[in-house]
Amino acid sequence: MKPINVGLLGIGTVGGGTFTVLSRNEAEITRRAGRPIRIVQVADKNLALAKQVTGGQVALTDDAFAVVNNPEIDIVVELIGGYGIAKELVLKAIENGKHVVTANKALLAVHGNEIFAAAQKKGVMIGFEAAVAGGIPIIKALREGLTANRIQWIAGIINGTTNFILSEMRDKGLSFDAVLKEAQRLGYAEADPTFDVEGVDAAHKLTIMSAIAFGIPMQFDQAYIEGISKLEAADIKYAEQLGYRIKLLGITKRRKLNGNAAFELRVHPTLIPARRLIANVEGAMNAVLVQGDAVGATLYYGKGAGAEPTASAVIADLVDVTRMATADPENRVPHLAFQPEAVADAPILPMAEVESGYYLRLRVEDKPGVLADITRILADQQISIDAMIQREPAEGEQQTDIILLTHVVRERQIDAAIARIEALPVVKGKLIRLRLEELS
């Protein structure tokens, strides 16, 4: 049977892994796909690297448009990344009637609505399993395996860099800055780690999962994003004492706003009960917890990055596209799980309306009546306390820490309380606020 010809854009870490795994497992992949899948052309600015990785077995070029315009190419694999040239290349490949496989979560989160509409119009497929959680097949699980379910919420550790940093801070009691330097030395963090540590990368991935889970457009610009760069080792320690661990979670939930459907879309450090499986995901590993109305909670765990784990997802998409290439476009699995005309344009819930438990840490003067003043303000906002730690001040000190856990309330209530608490003369500096999810 005629092979499927693949054009590869980018031969870096993931591109090299894709070429290696596809070559090594060629016979097994052919058995699964029903016909051979072969990379026949590679585009990369570094031709010397491309030649080294491919062993000179395929055509090489430094012009990516030569690949997307090559009439012999059936599927274009885009592994360049970013929002700019990658978008031009993907749209040109679609225009030329080629199927596309991409690991570019940023591109899809920001421009996915346009890209999927173009693909639908042209009758081609976009595979993007590798865009979220590396080798974990979470896209296929949401789009196909959980089709019978009304997804209620998703909570995921979907950035390995931040999970490594938080794990090390907890295990070793080190500061964020110290662990970040170690993560960079080990190759877990980029030289510029902003997208990772400030939660942007996780928000890209969460945006994609939310669209598939709920049948809504990509709405990255509406996501609430808060990273871990300001997180202090003291808060990780106090969380442990209260029976919780702190993880950077991407959370999306089905909610109501004024009686109509709305959805939460947020990324932030989150306290999770230490007994939960997802709280015990350590190092650079990823995990996604999905709650469906029929199946209950399901957990997907594995390597969220790396050459071969991500290549596994890229090649799975290549096999899917190969299997379905001859099918009528109307009978293929929809890109975002729901038929295009059934995608609902529902809003993302404002953070003021999000409901969560809260961890509060405040530095106060060691005087009688301080705690009573604080609890009175919380009571005025109908916020009840679930747990508390009040440290004895160190010898010679006149200030101490109070740590509170609240029951679930709306964020606007906690914001109002924090503003009043910080205005108390006995409270020193800004209050530390972290959100808390029971995930049950």
323 DSSP assignment: H
What is the per-residue DSSP string for 19-34? Answer: HHHHHHTHHHHHHHHS
Rg of the Cα trace of the chain? 24
Nearest alpha carbon to residue 239 among 411, 439, 416, 437: 437
Pairing of strands 427-436, 355-365: antiparallel
Nearest alpha carbon to residue 40 among 21, 60, 22: 60
How long a stretch of residues is the chain?
440
Pairing of strands 409-410, 355-365: antiparallel
79 DSSP assignment: -
Q: Position 103: which residue type?
A: A
Q: For residues 4 and 23, is the Cβ–Cβ distance under 8 A?
A: no
Strand, helix or coil at 423? Answer: coil
Residue 418 in tokens: 């924090």
The helix or strand, by DSSP H or E, that contains position 172, with its residue range, turns out to be helix 160-172
Catalytic sites, residue numbers: 205
The helix or strand, by DSSP H or E, that contains position 203, with its residue range, turns out to be helix 200-214
Q: Residue 266, exposed/middle/buried by CB under 10 A (0-12, 13-18, 19+)?
A: buried
> CA 31 to CA 131: how far, in whole Å?
25
The helix or strand, by DSSP H or E, that contains position 414, with its residue range, turns out to be helix 411-422
Nearest alpha carbon to residue 439 among 330, 328, 278: 278
Q: For residues 236 and 179, is the Cβ–Cβ distance under 8 A?
A: no
> CA 93 to CA 74: how far, in whole Å?
10
143 DSSP assignment: I
